[in-house]
């Protein structure tokens, strides 16, 4: 395959950045998208140029590191697919491919295609854990959990925190990510004691980090590589209203 790449290059946060054109020849259609970028970097190093910086780790669609916007779509054109799982056969010979970082106010570009997603870490730090004493590992059947509840929690836990939902949202909302992480814990017995505190704390941190409001366009679900449902957002809004009322009553009571 012969491809023309337009890649975002930015030295650091102070640099204005720009799209740079590259020509790639003899690319196998069986190569993954990141393997194609590896080949591009090898050619740049051979020429004495600085390679393109981009995030990656497992390359198996698990870690959520491969945060690339490809032709305007986070993770590229294939549904339920991360950038590392995307193969070049999804593109046409001679096509021009534009590669940019995830763009959002809370995610500062550190270099080229790498963004600082520590805002997500702060949301998790605000309540994405269980602090009550659980003791040693209990027997698997010691705490009865219905299949519907366990399936719901597992669906939420599928979120890999890649931030494609934020990059796709016109408001840069982190509601899909936050609702999934909250639902993962709040739907199980072990997470119930801290349910309201967790919810209020994580949503407050999300707002402080500068993420926008959800207006139910659904782009987040459309680009999510794990298919996280917007139903989690609806459930979060319902539970947030209840938790806010309880917290208000405690304050005035």
List, in sequence order, every residue forming a beta bridge with 92; answer none if it has no partner. Answer: none
pLDDT averaged over every residue in the chain: 95
At residue 14, φ and ψ (nearest 5 deg) are -85, -20
The domain ranges of the chain are 3-111, 117-131+143-252
The answer to whether the Cα torsion of 25, 26, 31, 37 is positive or negative is: negative
pLDDT greater than 80 at residue 202 = yes
pLDDT at 160: 98
Give the confidence band of 130 by pLDDT, cuts at 50, 70, 90.
confident
User: What is the arrangement of strands in the sheet containing 96-101, beginning at the earlier edge strand?
Assistant: 18-24, 3-9, 96-101, 68-70, 73-74
Residue pair 161/118 in contact by the 8 Å Cβ criterion: no
* Residue 248 CB neighbour total at 10 angstroms: 10
Exposure pattern of 116-142 as b/e (b: 16+ CB <10 Å)? ebebbeebeebbbeeeeeeeeeeeeee
Over residues 78-93, mean pLDDT? 97
* Residue 56 CB neighbour total at 10 angstroms: 18
Hey, is 221 helix, strand or coil?
A: helix
- Could you report the per-residue pLDDT of 165-183, keeping only the tens digit for each? 999 999 999 999 999 999 9
What percentage of the chain reaches a pLDDT higher than 70? Answer: 99
Place of tokens 């938790």: 243
Longest dimension (CA), the chain: 72
pLDDT greater than 80 at residue 132 = no
Q: Do domains 3-111 and 117-131+143-252 have the same CATH topology?
A: no
pLDDT greater than 80 at residue 136 = no
CATH for 3-111 is 3.10.20.30
- Could you report the per-residue pLDDT of 20-72, keeping only the tens digit for each? 999 999 999 999 999 999 999 999 999 999 999 999 999 999 999 999 999 99
- Could you report the per-residue pLDDT of 203-226, keeping only the tens digit for each? 999 999 999 999 999 999 999 999
pLDDT at 134: 64
* Residue 86 CB neighbour total at 10 angstroms: 23
CATH class of the domain at 117-131+143-252: mainly alpha
- pTM over 0.85? The answer is yes
Pairing of strands 108-111, 114-116: antiparallel
């Amino acid at each position: 395959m012969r491809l023309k790449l337009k890649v975002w290059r930015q030295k650091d946060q102070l640099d204005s950045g720009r799209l740079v054109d590259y020509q790639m020849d003899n690319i196998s259609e069986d190569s993954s998208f990141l393997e194609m970028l590896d080949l591009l970097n090898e050619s740049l190093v051979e020429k004495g140029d600085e390679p393109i910086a981009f995030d990656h780790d497992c390359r198996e669609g698990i870690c959520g590191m491969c945060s690339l916007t490809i032709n305007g779509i986070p993770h590229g054109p294939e549904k339920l697919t991360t950038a590392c799982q995307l193969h070049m056969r999804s593109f046409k010979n001679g096509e021009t491919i534009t590669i940019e970082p995830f763009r959002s106010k809370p995610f500062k570009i550190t270099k080229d295609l790498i963004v600082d997603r520590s805002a997500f870490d702060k949301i998790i730090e605000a309540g994405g854990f269980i602090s009550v004493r659980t003791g040693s590992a209990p027997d698997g059947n010691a705490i009865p959990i219905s299949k519907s509840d366990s399936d719901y929690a597992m669906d939420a836990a599928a979120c890999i925190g890649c931030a494609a939902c934020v990059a796709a949202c016109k408001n840069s909302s982190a509601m899909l990510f936050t609702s999934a992480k909250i639902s993962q814990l709040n739907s199980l017995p072990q997470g119930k004691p801290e349910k309201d505190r967790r919810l209020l704390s994580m949503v407050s941190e999300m707002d402080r980090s500068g993420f926008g409001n959800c207006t139910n366009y659904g782009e987040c679900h459309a680009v999510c590589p794990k298919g996280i449902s917007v139903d989690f957002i609806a459930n979060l809004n319902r539970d947030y209203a209840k938790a806010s009322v309880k917290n208000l009553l405690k304050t005035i009571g």
